[in-house]
Homo-oligomer: A and B are copies of this chain.
């Protein structure tokens, strides 16, 4: 219980430091904040050093530095690599914040600021956890930190970094620990054991060499928007299945035991529908958590063409455009799916139209972790000890390129030990983080270190 006393004694300082961190407007997508993002990197580097790391350095990249730190107590002991990010989302729409987003305040047990939950608050509890263990001489293994500043803008630099052998050697570890996700709900801890892959595609359909007058030409030449809509309407069938030939060839059938794991996590369809004002609609034969976590999806992310301002313009446009993404599940590869998709799209394109397909870089395959592994069992024990409940194993529907890279380049699984809540308003106005989660998170992380090392010995 020394660690609990330490956390209690330093509670105010920990909060003040977190506020200092949150005051830095490190918005990585906005060039006007470039100096702020650099400042946040230095802040993390300094705090890792003062937490007791042997070394803490900033590694220059093409854009924002990676902060690497380590505390090696014995090369023969296991090593945990902690990942996090010091950059934040833009504040837009700014007028909807009830308090300035970079002037953190504490209200009703929550700290409000951009980045409070995603990811500064969660990264900082990891830093304070190792400070606590080092100060109390109970760090049971080696620890490394790799913290990036481009998570909200594509993670390009860390992906480049991880592709080089010498860097892979530098950050090599036994397991990766990340606090950048949420619990299922308050007092319902959960650990996500999967992410979906993604490929992002942009289409341009051209039917004429210039825009035409819809009176003088309407009915006599094809309309590219109509044609694009017809193509898009053929990407799914009435049962909400994706119709790309061969699309499901490599999709693993969801076993009954896997379904049982998913079903064990509480899910309230009514609450789900009410929270977003939408009906639960999807692939026939699957529940909502299965559709999100264990089945592929295809979504149109944007469409545009012709006249889109106020009023009427009778234009028959020359082009129409769409952006869409496909979420993949394990055993599907982006190469396979992109190939099948392109073939099908060209097949659907009529003679009167020219189709250009632009596949964005940055796609990646799905990841699935076996929760029977020691590291996940250790995480489960840590949650049970601190929260009184064992965590549910959930499947995340999003795509985290960094996790895919960690798996593919380092061969490592990630324990996603997040302490946010779905209601934290990340990426939105009035983002906040529950203070008890900040401190209970620290305690849980410390418990995880102990259980993990015990499980490996």
A264 within 8 A of B: no
Given A208-B277, A352-B278, decide whether A301 and B214 contact each other with a Cβ distance below 8 A: yes
Residue A312 contacts which of B226, B313, B360 (CB distance < 8 angstroms)?
B360
**How far is it, in angstroms, between the C-alpha of A19 and the C-alpha of B281 when the chains are bound?**
64
**How far is it, in angstroms, between the C-alpha of A196 and the C-alpha of B213 when the chains are bound?**
13
Cβ B292 vs Cβ A220 within 8 A:
yes
Q: Give the distance to chain B from A56, nearest Cβ to Cβ, in Å.
A: 32
The 9 listed contacts between A and B (C-beta, < 8 Å) are A207-B279, A209-B278, A218-B397, A220-B297, A221-B280, A221-B282, A225-B302, A225-B322, A312-B323
Cβ A303 vs Cβ B301 within 8 A:
no
- Which residues of B have CB within 8 Å of A295? 219
- Which residues of B have CB within 8 Å of A200? 312, 314
A288 within 8 A of B: yes
A229 within 8 A of B: yes
Proximity string of chain A (205-249) to chain B, C-beta cutoff 8 Å, 1 when within and 0 when not = 001111011111111111101101110111110001000000000
A34 within 8 A of B: no
Cβ A352 vs Cβ B279 within 8 A:
yes
Proximity string of chain A (108-120) to chain B, C-beta cutoff 8 Å, 1 when within and 0 when not = 0000000000000
Given A208-B278, A226-B236, A312-B360, decide whether A220 and B288 contact each other with a Cβ distance below 8 A: yes
Given A276-B212, A291-B219, decide whether A303 and B302 contact each other with a Cβ distance below 8 A: no
Cβ A301 vs Cβ B288 within 8 A:
no
Residues in A183-200 with C-beta less than 8 Å from chain B: 196, 198, 200
Cβ B314 vs Cβ A301 within 8 A:
yes
Cβ B316 vs Cβ A299 within 8 A:
yes
**How far is it, in angstroms, between the C-alpha of A207 and the C-alpha of B281 when the chains are bound?**
10
Cβ A397 vs Cβ B217 within 8 A:
yes
Residue A276 contacts which of B210, B296, B305, B312 (CB distance < 8 angstroms)?
B210
Cβ B303 vs Cβ A305 within 8 A:
yes
Cβ A306 vs Cβ B301 within 8 A:
yes
Residue of B whose beta carbon sits closest to that of A307 = B302
Residues in A309-350 with C-beta less than 8 Å from chain B: 311-318, 320-323, 325, 327
Cβ B292 vs Cβ A216 within 8 A:
yes
**How far is it, in angstroms, between the C-alpha of A162 and the C-alpha of B367 when the chains are bound?**
70
Cβ A215 vs Cβ B397 within 8 A:
yes
**How far is it, in angstroms, between the C-alpha of A219 and the C-alpha of B228 when the chains are bound?**
21
Residue of B whose beta carbon sits closest to that of A352 = B279
A300 within 8 A of B: yes
Given A306-B302, A306-B303, A398-B216, decide whether A221 and B279 contact each other with a Cβ distance below 8 A: yes
Cβ B282 vs Cβ A220 within 8 A:
yes
A411 within 8 A of B: no
A388 within 8 A of B: no
- Which residues of B have CB within 8 Å of A351? 279
Given A208-B277, A221-B278, A306-B302, decide whether A215 and B229 contact each other with a Cβ distance below 8 A: no
- Which residues of B have CB within 8 Å of A396? 215-216
- Which residues of B have CB within 8 Å of A296? 219
A362 within 8 A of B: yes
A179 within 8 A of B: no
A161 within 8 A of B: no
